[in-house]
Structure 1
């Protein structure tokens, strides 16, 4: 799909706050409220915008984020599709991506404890274990995000933190219903939410504000159809040594300077770090990773590049 600078600006600002009104977006993009409505409809119809996502701070709700990579065997296209559908339907899984490279599937499980994770994963293995030749499991410790400056051709990304651990908070039924209602459509208005959960506008407005103030909701973003806008997505996993808080800080400063790095994940498990990149070509990826390896040569033991081919699930509150 061909996009112009206004389309790119719109996607950029939706990525930062997809709950902004058409009027607010119009001021950011420099076009009318009506023109924003037209562009949104066009981008949605063309598949450049897939859905509007609410960032829910699940660590604050007591969840641990496990990143799982699977290498498959004894499968064909039909069987792989069945496996993907099975994972997407699992209410404990918040992200599912098919990929190429060493790994075939990249997904994330939310669990309350190691025991809880074991139960969830064993249930998965009961169904698809015959098709798994190798697996990798890592626990996500922190995941500082970066704005998509590449959409505007800007050089240095701004930090945005999602999933920072705060004091655990128990949600009541109304809170849970609100989060479920907007988890896959953050642009849903308060009237629609109230009708859907059988509550009042005032209650929904108050609860939504509280969820934002307490950082249970840590932001609103957009799921883009990257294949439609000419963007390739890669995850680069690193095994590290001689790590320290200072080295981690320098790595994040490096990530900020590269406008194609959108997440830096600190992990414990098979891997210690993952850089999530959105690039126009493999050559750009190679250039960034080469610089990173040169700058942190004393800290990198090994690395693995995987190409994320298609994103099937992106839901921060899948329950």
Structure 2
């Protein structure tokens, strides 16, 4: 296992650069890191071969396209490991889920479904329930309003925050734009020439489409997928219930400057303040949690947490 503290300084900086913008060319990264392009090529291939980097994806502001998220936490019952994997595979293959994760805690699975109206979610939930109702224990369903995502930086907290999925708009995309966006959603580092070959769109048109999608704020970032287990890291999700809503802005400001934060979620019908931290061990997590309890002791009414043991899918857009 290539744990975080065993990674070379250069590999850490390479991961940082890729997570800030993985569409940078190797030559651009080499220039920023002051090394030769061949060094970047070799180290990047090494990180992929070691399965520390498992993929690349685009952060898409689905609200600009008229979508909003419905999040579901599900506890399974009577499900063997084989059946649980079947259920996860079904959720990953769905063209309406954009997040699927396994949970250790009060629930077993967490998903977010991308919909334009509540009936879209009903159709998804009805179909899923007919297939797997026998294995479904308790569940919670709530509206996912917005997310603040942060780069998994190992060196600096500056410029890490990406906010998206806020107010619903209705930006129109052409067929070609949808093809390019769907491709970038799960393969954000794919070269323009390969995107052109896959979609049947000219290289010049692909380049212009990507520029437009970024300029319009539809694509918010190009990021990488990390294997947290390989790095000896664990993703904890903390859910705070508050008795003083006026402190939410202060809590967000405090969180923005935290080196371990990865996500802050805003939802309706669940916790009042939801934050996810990527940490090296349980002791570090408890230290973070206790710091929140101490700093916001008058505002926190209740708190619970769980672990995302594995993220199976991150794909914000699918045509």
TM-score (ref. length: structure 1): 0.94
Is 1:48 aligned to 2:52, yes or no?
Answer: yes
Alpha-carbon offset, residue 298 of structure 1? 2.9
1:151-184 deviation line (CA, Å, top 9, x unaligned): 12x4667432233436421111101100112211
Runs of 5+ consecutive residues of structure 2 not aligned to the other structure: none
Cross-structure match for 2:310: 310
Displaced runs of 4 or more, over 3 A = 154-158, 164-167
RMSD: 1.6
CA distance in 2, matches of 1:198, 1:5: 41
1:136 is matched with 140
How is 1:129-208 mapped onto 2 (pairs within 5 angstroms)? 129-149=133-153, 151-152=154-155, 154=156, 158-165=160-167, 167-208=169-210
Match of 2:92 in 1: 88
SS state of the match for residue 50, structure 1?
strand
The 5 A counterparts of 1:51-90 are 51-90=55-94
The whole-number CA distance in structure 2 between the counterparts of 1:260 and 1:173 is 39
CA contact (8 A) 2:242 2:302 kept: yes
Provide the aligned length of Structure 1 versus Structure 2: 315
8 A contact 1:258–1:288 mirrored in 2 = no
1:190-221 CA-to-partner distances (Å, cap 9, x unmatched) read: 11111111111121111111111101111100
Which residue, out of 87, 98, 106, partners 2:102?
A: 98
Matched, 1:210 2:225: no
CA contact 2:52–2:226 (8 Å) conserved in 1: yes
CA separation in 1, counterparts of 2:227 and 2:254? 27
Query: What is the distance in 1 between the residues matched to 2:159 and 2:259?
Result: 6
Q: What corresponds to 1:123 in structure 2?
A: 127
Say whether the 8 Å CA contact 1:57–1:216 is kept in structure 2: yes
Moved more, 139-148 or 118-127: 139-148
Q: CA deviation at 1:41?
A: 0.8
* TM-score, L = length of structure 2: 0.94
**Is 1:156–1:256's contact at 8 Å kept on the other side of the alignment?**
no
Q: 2:226 aligns with which of 213, 224, 227?
A: 224
